[in-house]
Amino acid sequence: MSGGTDIPLGLLAELTHRCPLQCGYCSNPLELLKANRELDTETWLDVFRQAADLGVLQVHLSGGEPTLRQDLEDIVACLARSGVYTNLITAAVTLPGDRLKALKNAGLDHIQISFQGATDETTFRIGHYKNAFEKKRAAARQARALGLPLTINAPIHRLNIEEVPAFVDLALELDAERLEIANVQYYGWAELNKAALLPDREQVTQQIDFVTRAREDLTGVLNIDFVPPDYYADYPKPCMGGWAKDAFMIAPDGTMLPCHAAQSITSLSFENVREKPLQAIWERSDSFNAYRGTDWMSDRCKACPRRDIDFGGCRCQAFAVTGNATETDPACIKSPFHEELRAFPTSTTVHKRMIGATIAKV
Amino acid sequence: MTVARKRAILTADSVPILPAHVRLVFNEKRESWVVLAPEKILWPDDISVLILQNCDGARSIGEIARALSKEFSAPSSEILGDILEFLQDWSDRLLIRLAEQSGGKP
């Protein structure tokens, strides 16, 4: 695919980096943007109209915590008018019933509520927000009462991996349609805290066995989507289905990215929707074209029979571990850096996610 | 406390319906039918589109098979099995519901 680009299907809009939770696995960058760097309402609405014209069919409204944006109803309504399917990705501790009702009335199609634990205690230990568990459950019940389809998102790591069966019970109790058992991917804050968050191999194996059984037992009852941890895999994940293939992301300040972690690749520079139309960035920017297709690949990846299955894996992980974003993802058994990926001491210290935090990176 | 939901096993008497949050729409830009669902986008082929368009919450799968037998000029007994298999798969992925079980809720 040297010539044309595909039409994008999905847009992840990180409306803000502000968040009431302080989870140590957050996928946001370490340098979080303050409110004064966020796009204003008119710019976001223009971005969403452009996205719809470009062919985007689904928009995931995320953050930070997207409900901290007071214009969320306007954004949902604007997308609904264009026929775009809207998905709200929220921690749901700042989402009272009347707000949710207003969002539903504006045309919201689906809500995804994150749970840091399957118990009150774990939820607090990870997110550091009092009474979060009950608030989330109340929001989930309210969503179902309004007829909104519900996904429970459970980001899994060493501090909650034992609760995977309890997450399934929680999803059933809350009448969710989907449960995402999403093993944390180690970018941003998660990468900083990975020595304290990465589960051991035995725990991961048990989890995979449990989820495989649960998916079978609950066919037609609960859809369980499973994001396996690639640290113990032989082959990398097909990250984003290929770089800039069918989705993109916009950061709170308007930076347009092929994926939410792409800014960690410091050898690339990214463009901003304040300065250029979305279509120009999607089709012609150096950053989006950098790893499209297969021309950029090392000979190792080019010659690999899995080339069109996993596309060489994740560019961000390749850059983080090897310093070269065109390297084979070190999660791949064929990578010379494969062993290095897992070689780090474990720790019990978790840095809390905070705006303006100064972190001494080891 | 757990909500007692059960896997729906479809028969010729089942009445299927697309829930409101699973949208079958024609996409002008791609000149193609598309199904929009929670965190999923599906591209049904022409036959699948025809079946899904008939999942209106009023007609049973048996009636849908009879209606489509005229359009495909094949006996409904022949296509009933194919339609049941297709819709069972979609039901297992919670993309369609049965009218009597949905009770107005997605």
Whole-complex ipTM: 0.91
A177:B91 CB<8 A = no
Nearest CA in chain A to B36: A85
pLDDT at B1: 41
The answer to whether B70 faces chain A, any CB pair under 8 Å, is no
For residue B17, how many other CB atoms are within 10 A of its CB? 18
What per-residue confidence (pLDDT) applies to B4? Answer: 62
Question: Closest partner residue to B3 among A10, A57, A175, by Cβ?
Answer: A175
Q: Which residue of A5, A50, A57 to mutate against B (max B Cβ within 10 Å)?
A: A57
Task: Phi first, then psi: give them for residue B16, nearest 5 degrees.
Answer: -85, 150
Residue pair A30/A75 in contact (Cβ under 8 Å)? The answer is no
CA distance A172 to chain B (A): 6
Distance CA A44, CA A249 (A): 13
Closest alpha carbon within chain A to B23: A85
Cα B67 from Cα B76, distance rounded (Å): 8
Q: For position B99, what pLDDT does the model report?
A: 86
CB contact at 8 A, A166 and A118:
yes
Q: What is the pLDDT at residue A358?
A: 62
CB A249 within 8 A of CB A258: yes
A88 bridge partner residues: A61, A111
Model pTM score: 0.94
Contacts of A109 in chain B (CB under 8 A): 21, 23, 36, 38
| Tokens 């019933």 found at | A97
CB–CB of B39 and A7 under 8 A?
A: no
Q: Tell me if A24 sits within 8 A of A126, measured CB to CB.
A: yes
Pairing of strands B32-37, A58-62: unpaired
The confidence score (pLDDT) of residue B106 equals 44
Which residue in the set A9, A109, A173 is minimally distant from B41, CB to CB? A9
Check A57 against B34: CB less than 8 A apart.
yes
On whether any CB of chain A is under 8 Å from the CB of B91, the answer is yes
Q: Is the pLDDT of residue B105 over 60?
A: no
A85:B8 CB<8 A: no
Q: Measured between beta carbons, which residues in chain B are less than 8 angstroms from residue A83?
A: 25
Contact predicate A308/A325, CB 8 Å: no
The one-letter amino acid code at A284 reads R
Provide the shortest C-alpha distance from residue A10 to chain B (in Å): 9
- Nearest Cα of chain B lies from the Cα of A292 at a distance, in angstroms, of 21
- Which DSSP state fits A240? G
φ, ψ of residue B26 to 5 degrees: the values are -95, 125
Question: So what's the pLDDT on residue A337?
Answer: 92
Is residue B37 scored above 90 in pLDDT?
Answer: yes
Which of the residues in chain A have pLDDT under 50? 1-3, 361-362
> Would you call B93 and A223 a contact, using CB atoms and an 8 Å cutoff?
yes
Question: What single-letter DSSP state applies at residue A78?
Answer: H
CB A150 within 8 A of CB A111: yes
Closest chain A residue to B92, measured at CA: A220
SS3 A334: coil
Model pLDDT, residue A360: 54
